[in-house]
Chain A
């Protein structure tokens, strides 16, 4: 008998439950949810959406195929396609969050046309297949019952407000959203957008008036919903709300496009000869291997992620600079690359486990086991800029369990010099390639080693011991 593992984040809506059976993703539905699913599957928009990739591909299991472990527990069981790597909105760039918001609203508009609505408006309902957003919460859909869209507040808090912070104030939302899984509430946002800032696009209506309404309307929500329905709040008005939101979200842009990292490739000091040697080394290292899941830690513009992705597999490309990752995301979409997922994350402080009992949103390093880890031009950032002892950097790499392709930048390299310039002299006596190599050998078998032509960088391919 296989092991049925319930998804720890799937408990808020009691009507449906996600669970895993080996690598399969299944969802149990109660009688009402089963009926909603049947109606959803019979609509015109939903099968089309699945086919186009905008919603997670889902099939109903024949009662005879329901795994014995859960037989009789649900009115129906459906099976979802497996999302290659789970990520959360606090790891996405501005353009990713905006595209996810647009997808969510477009789906809602299409659903409303066929008298179906959505129970929520949560950014965590969207995942990614490479750089393409996918709506995953099939349990969100239900037959329309009149009155306004109940997910409006959640949409504001987890999609619109983070976007407004970046678009109007140039404040990156990722760390704020990581600390507030439900997003900022209207009153907090009103304090941030005080004075004349309240007149910026979308703020007066969705923040200021929203906050006023929140503080002044004290009657119970269900009663207000019924009253609004009786006063003539029709489906057309919900459509008007959603259409206006969609128009607003499409107009939001991040002005903070300029960043030191963006120019990194032009200004970076090492020669083209080094770059060519690095690309060749990487190609040789992965040639003839089954790439599987790869993590490119410190991906910068993603050039090495792309080389790995050309050989198949799925690459999670991570960098701490949100503007750099945003540029990568847009370029991947433009080029039609489908197997690289770009994420924003500070690798000295990677996403921790969050939410109820620390289980709802898993830590980045616990989500899956990579087959291959790239750490190119990363070690000096961890060891020098963030003072992480070299031994810990190497044991951290080992903890992932996959093969490692790593670059060591020696102290006399100009990029390392730049970082060392901020530190007291003599602070890192052990930051040397021979020490690093010895540490690697404690945890890995070194398959290849190559010094780059500039003489200040060395590459290693290693297999875990």
Chain B
């Protein structure tokens, strides 16, 4: 079915969590690696670095366009 709003992945997880324990259980069932990524500091750092690298790349693109 067509949905015109962006399916923001974080918000979908958040709405599952908002359903209470049963919803949280479903989030856990999504897979161990994702759950770890959500809670572990090490994975959080990795995700942050990945995001920073991505934004640097975008900045470089913009700078490249400007010159």
- A-side residues, CB < 8 A to B, are 12-15, 32, 119-120, 142-143, 145, 147-154, 156, 186, 205-206, 209-210, 212-225, 227-228, 231-233, 236-238, 240-241, 244-245
Contact = CB atoms under 8 A, between A and B. Distances in A.
Contacts of B63: none
Contact of B6 (A142, A212, A221): A221
Contacts of A213: 10-11, 13-14, 17, 38
10 smallest A-B Cβ distances: which pairs? A221-B7, A214-B10, A153-B11, A152-B15, A210-B14, A213-B10, A231-B29, A240-B19, A224-B9, A241-B19
A125 B23 CA distance: 27
Given A237-B19, A244-B20, A231 B30 contact: yes
B34 to A, nearest CB: 7
Given A143-B1, A210-B10, 11 more contacts: A120-B4, A148-B19, A205-B18, A215-B10, A221-B11, A221-B12, A224-B7, A231-B26, A237-B23, A240-B19, A240-B22
A32 B30 contact: no
Contact of B5 (A14, A151, A156, A206): A151
Contact of B12 (A142, A148, A240): A148
B3 interface: yes
A224 to B, nearest CB: 4
Contacts of B15: 148-149, 152-153, 241
Contacts of A236: 22
By secondary structure, the A interface counts as helix
A233 B18 CA distance: 12
B29 to A, nearest CB: 4
Interface in B8-54: 8-20, 22-23, 26-27, 29-31, 34, 37-38, 44, 47, 50-51
Contacts of A205: 17-18
Contacts of B50: 218
Contacts of B5: 119-120, 150-151, 153-154
A231 B16 CA distance: 11
14 contacts: A15-B4, A148-B16, A149-B15, A214-B8, A217-B37, A221-B7, A224-B7, A224-B12, A232-B26, A237-B16, A238-B19, A241-B15, A244-B19, A244-B20
Contact of B44 (A156, A216, A245): A216
Interface of B: 1-20, 22-23, 26-27, 29-31, 34, 37-38, 44, 47, 50-51
B19 A145 contact: no
A150 B29 CA distance: 20
Contact of B38 (A15, A216, A231, A237): A216
Contact of A233 (B11, B23, B37): B23
Give the interface centre of B16, B29, B37, B50 by most chain A CB atoms within 10 Å.
Answer: B16
A222 B10 CA distance: 11
B16 to A, nearest CB: 5
A244 B16 CA distance: 12
A13 B6 CA distance: 12
Nearest to A214: B10
Nearest to B1: A145
Instruction: Count chain A CB atoms within 10 A of each CB in B11, B23, B26 and give the residue with the most.
Output: B11
A32 B2 contact: yes
A227 B3 CA distance: 17
Contact of B26 (A150, A219, A225, A233): A233
B12 A225 contact: yes
A212 B16 CA distance: 14
B4 to A, nearest CB: 4
Contacts of B26: 228, 231-233, 237
A234 to B, nearest CB: 9
A244 B2 contact: no
Given A15-B4, A142-B1, A217-B13, A244 B18 contact: yes
